[in-house]
Amino acid sequence: MKPLLVLTAVDREAAPVIAGLNQTEDILLSGIPLIRGLAGEKKVYVLVSGPGVFNTAAKLGIILAALKPEWILQTGCGGMYPESCLSMGDIVIAASERDLHTGLESKSLIPSPLPFPLMENSPHIPGFYNTDTSLLHAALDIIEKKEGRIPPYGPFITVSTVTTSEKTANSIARSTGGLVENMEGAAAFHTAAIYGIPILEIRGISNPVGSRKSEDWDLETAFIRAGEAALYLLHRLPQHVWHPQQNL
């Protein structure tokens, strides 16, 4: 069986996942450090890429070329946009990812498409990536059993510049319908699409987008909640639950 790959931006996001794996060991693969362990009988690798789109795309691309996992599970923290109806500590699953910063400057916050595709097997909307339907539905069913309710799911927005004002947060939410802001998702989805490997993203809410007040943030709870949910999925998601034609 092919292994599974867990992707996080920072060590604290990976820690709850690693703590729940058996027979863990540090390894190097193509010069990149990973943790290898077992979730039941499933072989799992954990990659901490570093924050942001550049770290994510660069390191994930190297690992996918060498490892070729069955699917990727991206986990970590994220901010909630205004009127998302989310709460601190909520577990949210990405139905799609959107890169907000690649393209041509436009009158809106959403860039206009470049005059050439970002990659050969480009999505219909440049910088927009859907989660594989069967992988998404399987994850929703599993998390519903854990949480006692269907978890929130919907559009995630990837930014390279963290939103620090309520005005911008409201504008992004209105323009995109986004629920969650993060700094890595679209880069991971893009890289995974190049290799034809499905990816699922699950995040814990750590803050309201637009606020930099320390009292509005709870990173530790978000790390733990997302990591524990990711570990729950690793143990219960079937090894093969996706359809290649739905990858983009």
CA–CA separation, 161 and 8 (whole Å): 18
pLDDT at 245: 44
Task: Say which amino acid occupies 232.
Answer: Y
Residue-averaged pLDDT of the chain: 92
Asked if residue 119 has pLDDT above 80, the reply is no
pTM of the model: 0.93
pLDDT at 111: 83
In the chain, which ranges are continuous DSSP H helix? 11-19, 53-67, 133-147, 166-176, 185-195, 219-236
- Buried/exposed 120-145: b ≥16 CB within 10 Å, e otherwise: eebbeebbbbbbbeebbebbeebbee
The residue ranges of every structural domain in the chain are 4-246
pLDDT at 104: 85
pLDDT tens for each residue of 127-178: 889 999 999 999 999 999 988 999 999 999 999 999 999 999 999 999 999 9
Q: How confident is the model at residue 124 (pLDDT cuts 50, 70, 90)?
A: low
CB 158 within 8 A of CB 187: yes
pLDDT at 247: 39
pLDDT tens for each residue of 61-88: 999 999 999 999 999 999 999 999 999 9
Class of domain 4-246: alpha beta
